[in-house]
Structure 1
């Protein structure tokens, strides 16, 4: 078969296998489709499918096919991060800045410290730090990966729980939005390249000027034109950020963050995000799975994932619990908010992909973080849903 035919076989597997598991297995309560797709990407990677059927794996996932899949995956995740940037709305956070600042600050700082301590434990052994990663970059990167809240997936889970438009859901969105800004800011610090500082400063200066001009242009355009111009702006920012030595994902987030959500119809934005998740993000999950590695041994990687999961979930619950005490919340309310904010999935996986791209972490570290993100997300609904049904929040 030619490359196009093998590519379509890979696409068939990527879309059919997770869907059948999700639908026939009725996993939606504890594992939404997006989680099944992420797990499917791990299973289809070299550590599972490649180990069990090496000849088949080599036949389907040729360098040409992997290159084509990676191209789709890059654009898919850029679109996803761009939408996440657009949907950030910090005005409500500023209106309630004391509550939001205390909660978001502690919800980020405590798991960041816990994750950094877990990273220091892992670094006692070789195989966790990437070839280009200074110790502080590895520790801060892993720590921040443990502190991440996956805002887009959090929105999907709260829709499922029917609290997204409720006061509780809107509060949680405020906290997660502030932390989202901090996450990308810390990532920019980690990726600072002193040898390319001139390029990075040039990109940031050019971006600041261009952002003002783009905002003025967007206000004058019809909505249908804003979508198209927005995509051009996304590609330009992604290129500029990558050229400067940051990463195209940083550019993707910045390109969306300077746009106002009110310039786009909310239903169309929801539909656009849903179509990205439906049509192209499964390819990103597969390409992510292709990057997993079990070189240090499966038990070692699972042990590292368990350590990171404890740091991530425990840190988030402790941080939100302290915020709840300061702000006078009922304990059950703080508990529910903490569990929702510890949701990881996509944003953490994107964050970890960037660290791996830059050689800051190894494939084994990436695999442990990926397993932690999947477990974190799978825990959310089974823990929070019974509390909501019993009216304890």
Structure 2
């Protein structure tokens, strides 16, 4: 009997990654409260060292060897870079400019209030124990990171949810996209601030200047190209900017978002872009979810991890709803409107998980904090559809009302 090769173990891991979540999602009919993407995230957690590795350590160590994990991590890294890049491209800031006051008020309050509440929870956690900060994270970075995690809106998942609710192309859906898009920029801006490295400030300044010049040139080039050439050129652009951002200490994920943000959605066929995002989510992102699950840790926190996740979840939801309700009062929205918008904007999965992965990569937060954030993201996302569906049914006029 020949020894099992690394390639065979990798393919076995891939079989588990794709088979298990699909069977749970399809046979369990979880779509209403747990779409496939949520089931994949939960499966990643369960397949990680804290659950499968704790129950069946020998099986876990046999399949998820260091070489297999490296192969999965490389695939996951490129997949999530593509996903963040697409999120940057799909920002439609020109629409935000056309409704500047409404968008700024809503997006601002929808971010500031949950961030403030999340920061208070983070300060309490740090005061209670030293297990929440990473080896290179100071208190300000940890508090800001956990606070911003509570304010994140997962724009790609929000789009999927609004498609499911059949409001994406309606005026209400376009309004919500404007709010989420503005917050998306703020989120990555805060991340860049958290990652600001005074020891590499010279490199970061060089990168910023080079990026501004290169962005001007790439926009000129993309305008001159046909669409069939824009796709390969834009992928070269993505790899180059991500490399530059990582070189200067900002992290390749910040670079991926910047690479997409300077490109225009109108340069690409919308149907092809939707399909491209869909296939990345279907074919590659499950690997990222497993890689994320492999980074969870329960030993040092125990019950405290679940308590922290619950506290962060309350801060995230209460803060988002409070901020949006305050915006509704200022802008004189009709009754019930703020609840629908607030529940949709509190969707956390994917972008928050990516955000937390970056913080963990840079050792700003610990694996324990990362696990709590992951649980919070899952809970937040699972609540969205069940909370929005009945509210939307009562206020059907919102779907067609202009912004």
> TM-score higher than 0.5 here?
yes
In structure 2, what is the Cα distance between the partners aligned to 1:305 and 1:179? 22
Among 221, 234, 252, which residue is 1:230 paired with?
234
Deviation for aligned residue 1:224: 1.1
1:82 corresponds to which residue? 85
Aligned: 1:362 with 2:331: no
Q: Does 1:167 align with 2:171?
A: yes
- Aligned ranges for residues 148-187 of structure 1 at < 5 Å? 148-187=152-191
Q: How does 1:1-393 map to 2 (within 5 A)?
A: 1-124=4-127, 125-391=129-395, 393=398
Residue by residue over 1:279-319, the C-alpha shift from the partner in whole angstroms, topping out at 9 and shown as x without a partner, is 10000000000000002343111100000000000000000
1:149, 1:342 within 8 Å by CA — same for their partners in 2? yes
Aligned partners of 2:301 and 2:368 also within 8 Å: no
Please state how far the C-alpha of 1:388 moved relative to its aligned partner: 1.7
Are the aligned partners of 2:48 and 2:295 in contact in 1 as well (CA < 8 Å)?
Answer: yes
CA distance in 1, matches of 2:304, 2:179: 34
**Is contact 1:321–1:331 with CA below 8 Å preserved after alignment?**
no
3-state SS of 2:391 partner = helix
3-state SS in 2 of match to 1:331: coil
- Structure 2 portions without partners, runs of 5+: 399-403
Q: Deviations over 1:116-145 (max 9, x none)?
A: 000001001110011100110000000000
Cα RMSD (Å) of the superposition? 0.7
Q: CA deviation at 1:220?
A: 1.0
SS in 2 for 1:46: coil
Cα distance per residue 1:47-91 (max 9 Å; x no partner):
000000000000000000000000000000000000000000111
Contact 1:88 1:257 in 2 (8 A): yes
Q: How many residues align?
A: 393
CA distance in 1, matches of 2:52, 2:268: 42
Cα distance in 2, alignment partners of residues 219 and 97 from structure 1:
27
Question: How does the TM-score come out when normalised to structure 1?
Answer: 0.99
